[in-house]
Structure 1
Amino acid sequence: MDADLTTGERIRVLRESRGMSRPVLAQLCGRGVEWLKKIESGERELTSHPLLLQLAAALQVADLSVITGTNTPSAAATAPLGRLAHPGMPDIWAAVMTRSLTAAPAGPVDPAALQGRVDQTWRLWHTSARNRTEVGALLPGLIRDGEHAVRTLDGEQRRRAQVALSDVYRLTGQATAYVAPAELAWVVADRALSAAQAADNPAAIAAASWNLGNILRETAYPEEALRVVEEAADLIRPHLDGAPEDWRGIYGALQLHAAVTAAREGREGDAWRYWGRGDQVAKNLPVAYVHPSAVFGRANVDFHAVSVATDLKKSARAIGLADDIDPDAMPSVERRARLWVEVARGHLQRGDRTAALHVMQMAHRVGAETVSYTPSARTVAADLWRNSPRSMRAETSRLAEAVGITTAG
């Protein structure tokens, strides 16, 4: 990078070197294209430190001095490398990426007790409005204890520890989505699947594949995502007769995953076919059944119908489906918040910004961190703030600020 380049010129060079368009980078920062154009041209000075951090994260730059061209302590601070920043990431990164290759001088780990802690943390993920923060604080200890258990146990005890460790890494993938660097996301997904395969447990393999499918879909590999979840479904299907309910639950979750993946690709027939399979699984489970981690059940099948319709740009159908849903039937706060985000997207597709704002405010009240750390939710909030009429500006600005989208600077 030429030392004489201005901050704006550096941003432009970094953006172009990554093959990123100006609208994409502006959207990742929650700003408009004209704002970024003025920054890059030098017409507008960039003085906001939070905006510098957002730009660094979006451009995958670890040192802000690469953007600013200065070496002052504040400018040289390490920036987060995920799409969004969360204060819990450094400790999780350390636990994942500095895995010891030898047994730690600690006492034995009971795999049943470890699994109990993991299950409890999954419940926290689904019930807390601050799930990323609260779960993120527990993950480093769970990761280290899980790794210690599989290194020190043998036989059936070790296989149980492998299942628990796979669950830990699946939860890590959920809790760090969009805030983790890409390399950590892939490491976590791979370790979850490897631990499940080492345990030789079809349900654990299917659950880890569901998690890997999420990573593949969110990183623009939809065909690979479909392949993974379909293979996982084929693997577990022969074991479903007489299997525990959770085995059928994760099989149903794989079908819903495939439905959304196909919908995002505009494959309407495939999307509803996969959804229908998930719907049939739910009909064959008790009405009140909910999978402990994937939250598959009757309510989640209905929630996914809204997501499929929204992703297919069938906004009228999505809103109609949402009208018939009882959100309280879903025990997961995180999933309820995401439902309202999907409904808000549907209202935006129809041009009804008033309804979209109202629903987004509901989503934020239900699960503040789910909204703040989900790109689709932030996109809706940014769109409302930028494009709503003057009469809504105060409310849309408050929503944008609450979500973490900078509206000044």
Structure 2
Amino acid sequence: MTDLPSELTTGERIRVLRERRGLSLPVLAGLVGRSSDWLKKIENGDRELRSITHLVRLANALRVPDVSMLTGGELSIPADGTGKLSHSAVPAIRSALHGASFTTAPTVGAITPGALKDRVVSAWRLWHTSTHQRTEVGALLPDLVRDAHACVKAHQGNERRAAHAATADLYRLVQRLLAHICEPELYWIALDRGRAHSEEADQPVALALAAWSTAIGQRAAGFAEEAVRTDEAGMEILRGELDRGDAELTSVYGALNLQAAISCGLDGRSGDAERYLAEADRTARRLPGDYSHPQSAFDASNVAVHGVGIGVGLLNPGEALRRAENIAPEKITSLERRSRLLLDIAAGHAQKRETAAAVHYLGRAHQVTPEGIRYVPTARSLAASLVRTASGPLKADAVALAEAVGVAA
């Protein structure tokens, strides 16, 4: 089962291994929870397989011991693994999440909903401005989770609803931090807590943000079509309120359109992706010039950044890089978004087989936020592929970069 020609693409390797096992397209697709059309596009090279989760599922279904047999590269992940790197912040966060709802939180001296909101906003700001987001924000979250639950229990009426809204915002940050570094169950606990507190807050923006974060989780799990439906549900909550001109409400509506565009792009639906992207752009133009949403970082520059990523997802690197030419990375205030832009530029160059440029931009992305790259599976996968394609003096640079982002080269 290991005698596959080195020049085969990932899709071609999957097809060969599937046929060797005597599995039809519908059967293998069903084993990994996807459609036959999705798998056909992967095998034909019409869609890029960027999800570590799906690589692991396919390796298990095809009964191969490591995903490197599918990728043909140095990205080595046991088929029963998760493709995640652990982080020292996770155990304390896990303890806080498992214990917060089942301990008697003291209500005497509990912080006010306003103070809780200020701390959550500050934590989100740190997430977007820190070069080591998971380490610095992760140190704050356990106490913040416990204080948030105490705040909810200590108040009634409108103040309790405000506490629920702030706690929902907090759990969306917990969800963001835990992505790719913990067991799926813990990630979904955070997501569901955020959704539950959003419902208790009984505010349109909170409910729409719950849809936004849920769609992110659905897409990360490989359910792009379901993610788009969730984004649409969130948009519907806000459409009747857009004429109010409220900046937060407008920006959340725009962020939902951006997420739908990303999901459509990853699903190969170019027309729908561009339609949602255009609506996000129109929405961004309605915002005050200096406004950026504290959680999603939605603003005009963020629309442009996601346009690059959508081009990469649609396997249209020429369009992705053309869009990138009009963006000045240093003007993007969110370091997380800045590093993501540079990562997408690197991926675009890799798709065009421009290895030197890909190594350069992936290195720049890592310099902006080392943790923002090290803990992203697609970045590690790209680093591994660059080790394989680099040659000459560039090889040493590619190997050093792969080791820096957590890939054993």
TM-score by length of 2: 0.82
Q: Secondary structure at 1:99's aligned position in 2?
A: helix
Distance 1:28 1:87 in 2: 30
Going from structure 1 to structure 2, the CA distance change for 1:399 and 1:30 (only over 3 Å counts) comes to: farther
The aligned residue for residue 320 of structure 2 is: 318
The aligned residue for residue 375 of structure 2 is: 373
User: Residue 87 in 1 paired to residue 88 in 2?
Assistant: yes
Q: Secondary structure at 1:98's aligned position in 2?
A: helix
Distance 1:30 1:238 in 2: 50
User: Residue 97 in 1 paired to residue 98 in 2?
Assistant: yes
Q: % of aligned pairs identical?
A: 38
Distance 2:230 2:405 in 1: 33
Contact 1:372 1:404 (C-alpha < 8 Å) held by counterparts = yes
Distance 2:112 2:241 in 1: 28
**Residue type of the alignment partner of 1:199:** A
Going from structure 1 to structure 2, the CA distance change for 1:202 and 1:16 (only over 3 Å counts) comes to: closer
Give the drift of 1:329.
Answer: 2.7
Distance 1:206 1:105 in 2: 31
Going from structure 1 to structure 2, the CA distance change for 1:139 and 1:28 (only over 3 Å counts) comes to: farther
Give the drift of 1:295.
Answer: 0.4
The aligned residue for residue 304 of structure 1 is: 306
The aligned residue for residue 26 of structure 1 is: 68
> What are the equivalent positions in structure 2 for 1:87-236 lying under 5 Å apart?
87-105=88-106, 107-236=109-238
The aligned residue for residue 263 of structure 2 is: 261
**Residue type of the alignment partner of 1:348:** A
Q: Secondary structure at 1:179's aligned position in 2?
A: coil
Going from structure 1 to structure 2, the CA distance change for 1:134 and 1:31 (only over 3 Å counts) comes to: farther
Distance 2:239 2:389 in 1: 48
Q: List per-residue Cα deviations over 1:21-43 (Å, max 9, x = no partner).
A: 6486338999638xx6xxxxxxx
Q: List per-residue Cα deviations over 1:75-121 (Å, max 9, x = no partner).
A: xxxxxx77221111111111112234353235222110010000000
Distance 2:250 2:136 in 1: 29
The aligned residue for residue 15 of structure 2 is: none
The aligned residue for residue 345 of structure 2 is: 343
The aligned residue for residue 384 of structure 2 is: 382
The aligned residue for residue 59 of structure 1 is: 80
Q: List per-residue Cα deviations over 1:100-148 (Å, max 9, x = no partner).
A: 4353235222110010000000000000010011111111111111111
The aligned residue for residue 329 of structure 1 is: 331
The aligned residue for residue 281 of structure 1 is: 283
Distance 1:30 1:277 in 2: 39
| Number of residues of Structure 1 aligned to a counterpart in Structure 2 | 353
Distance 2:295 2:125 in 1: 8
Superposition CA RMSD, Å = 2.2
Q: Secondary structure at 1:85's aligned position in 2?
A: coil
Give the drift of 1:313.
Answer: 0.8
Structure 2: segments with no counterpart, 5+ residues: 1-55
Higher relative contact order, chain-length normalized (CA < 8 Å, sep 6+): 2
Distance 2:83 2:200 in 1: 29
Distance 2:70 2:361 in 1: 22
Distance 2:86 2:72 in 1: 14
Give the drift of 1:160.
Answer: 0.6
Contact 1:289 1:298 (C-alpha < 8 Å) held by counterparts = no
Give the drift of 1:223.
Answer: 1.5
Going from structure 1 to structure 2, the CA distance change for 1:29 and 1:175 (only over 3 Å counts) comes to: farther
Distance 1:128 1:31 in 2: 32
Contact 1:23 1:32 (C-alpha < 8 Å) held by counterparts = no
